[in-house]
Chains A and B, each alone.
Chain A
Amino acid sequence: MTTPLALSQTAINFTYLVAAVLLIVGIRRLSAPPTARSGNVIAAVGMTIAIVFTFLDRDIDSYWLIVVGMAVGTVIGVASARLVKMTAIPQMVALFNGVGGGAAALISAAEFHRLAPAAGHLSGDSVGAMLFSALIGSVSFAGSLVAFGKLQELLPGRPLVFGAQQVLNAALFAALVAFGILAGATEAGIWMVFLLLGALLFGVLLVLPIGGADMPVVISLLNAFTGLAAASAGFVLENTALIIGGTLVGASGTLLTILMGRAMNRSLANVLFSAFGSAPTGSAAAPTSADGKSYREISAEDAAVMLAYAQRVVIVPGYGLAVAQAQHSVRELADLLEKRGVDVKYAIHPVAGRMPGHMNVLLAEANVPYPQLFDMEDINPEFPRTDVALVIGANDVTNPAARNVPESPIYGMPILNVDEAANVVVLKRSMNPGFAGIDNDLYYDSKTAMLFGDAKASVEKLVAGVKAA
Chain B
Amino acid sequence: MTSTLLTSITVFVLAVFIGFEIISKVPTMLHTPLMSGTNAIHGIVLVGAMLIAGSAHSTLEQVLAFVAVVFATINVVGGFLVTDRMLEMFKRR
The interface of chain A, by Cβ under 8 A from chain B, is 23-24, 26-28, 30-34, 36-37, 39-41, 43-44, 47, 50-51, 54-55, 57, 59-63, 65-66, 68-70, 72-74, 76-78, 80-82, 84, 86, 89-90, 92-93, 95-97, 99-100, 102-104, 106-107, 109-111, 113-114, 125, 216, 219-220, 223, 226-227, 229-231, 233-256, 259-260, 263, 298, 301-302, 305-306, 309, 340-341, 469
Kindly report which residue of chain A lies nearest to residue B61, judged by CB atoms: A110
B6-63 with Cβ < 8 A to chain A: 8, 11-12, 15-20, 22-58, 60-62
Contact B48 A78 (CB under 8 A): no
Contact A36 B61 (CB under 8 A): no
A76 to B79 Cα, complex, angstroms: 12
Partner of A34, one of B29, B88, B92: B92
Contact A249 B38 (CB under 8 A): yes
Chain B nearest CB from A249 CB (Å) reads: 4
User: By the criterion of a CB under 8 Å from any partner CB, how many residues of chain B are at the interface?
Assistant: 83
A76 to B82 Cα, complex, angstroms: 13
Contact A259 B26 (CB under 8 A): yes
Contact B29 A259 (CB under 8 A): no
Partner of B72, one of A89, A100, A263, A298: A100
Chain B nearest CB from A382 CB (Å) reads: 20
Contact B38 A59 (CB under 8 A): no
Given A30-B33, A89-B85, A263-B28, is A61 in contact with B73 using a C-beta cutoff of 8 Å? no
A218 to B92 Cα, complex, angstroms: 31
Partner of B31, one of A235, A250, A256: A256
Contact B5 A74 (CB under 8 A): no
Contact B25 A243 (CB under 8 A): no
A77 to B74 Cα, complex, angstroms: 4
Contact A81 B77 (CB under 8 A): yes
Contact A248 B15 (CB under 8 A): yes
Residues of A within 8 A of B75 (CB): 77, 96-97, 99-100, 103
Chain A nearest CB from B39 CB (Å) reads: 5
Contact A230 B42 (CB under 8 A): yes
Contact A250 B16 (CB under 8 A): yes
Given A27-B23, A66-B69, A263-B31, is A100 in contact with B42 using a C-beta cutoff of 8 Å? yes
A448 to B81 Cα, complex, angstroms: 31
Contact B61 A100 (CB under 8 A): no
Contact B66 A24 (CB under 8 A): no
Known interface pairs A93-B79, A239-B48, A260-B31; 17 further A-B residue pairs with C-beta atoms within 8 A, sorted by A's residue number: A30-B38, A31-B34, A43-B41, A47-B80, A62-B56, A66-B69, A70-B73, A73-B72, A73-B76, A81-B81, A99-B74, A103-B45, A216-B32, A227-B42, A235-B8, A248-B41, A254-B19
**Across the A-B interface, the 8 shortest Cβ-Cβ residue pairs:** A73-B73, A251-B19, A60-B54, A69-B69, A77-B77, A245-B44, A77-B78, A81-B81
A8 to B85 Cα, complex, angstroms: 38
A76 to B87 Cα, complex, angstroms: 21
A348 to B66 Cα, complex, angstroms: 63
Residues of A within 8 A of B39 (CB): 93, 96-97, 100, 223, 226, 249
Kindly report which residue of chain B lies nearest to residue A221, judged by CB atoms: B35
Select the residue from B41, B51, B72 with max chain A CB neighbours within 10 A. Answer: B41
Given A30-B33, A33-B90, is A81 in contact with B85 using a C-beta cutoff of 8 Å? yes
Residues of B within 8 A of A107 (CB): 45, 48-49, 52, 64-65, 68
Chain A nearest CB from B20 CB (Å) reads: 5
Contact A248 B5 (CB under 8 A): no
Contact A102 B71 (CB under 8 A): yes
Given A27-B38, A50-B44, A302-B28, is A239 in contact with B16 using a C-beta cutoff of 8 Å? no
Kindly report which residue of chain B lies nearest to residue A227, judged by CB atoms: B42
A247 to B41 Cα, complex, angstroms: 10
Chain B nearest CB from A168 CB (Å) reads: 28
Contact B48 A237 (CB under 8 A): yes
A60 to B4 Cα, complex, angstroms: 21
Chain A nearest CB from B9 CB (Å) reads: 8
Given A30-B33, A33-B30, A259-B26, is A78 in contact with B51 using a C-beta cutoff of 8 Å? no
A254 to B42 Cα, complex, angstroms: 13
Contact B56 A37 (CB under 8 A): no
Contact A96 B79 (CB under 8 A): yes
Partner of A234, one of B8, B23, B87: B8
Kindly report which residue of chain B lies nearest to residue A123, judged by CB atoms: B2
Chain B nearest CB from A416 CB (Å) reads: 24
Contact A33 B49 (CB under 8 A): no
A160 to B85 Cα, complex, angstroms: 33
A72 to B89 Cα, complex, angstroms: 30
Contact A61 B54 (CB under 8 A): yes
Contact A33 B29 (CB under 8 A): yes
A141 to B36 Cα, complex, angstroms: 16
Contact B51 A253 (CB under 8 A): no
A73 to B34 Cα, complex, angstroms: 23
Residues of A within 8 A of B41 (CB): 23, 26-27, 43, 47, 227, 245, 248-249
Chain A nearest CB from B25 CB (Å) reads: 7
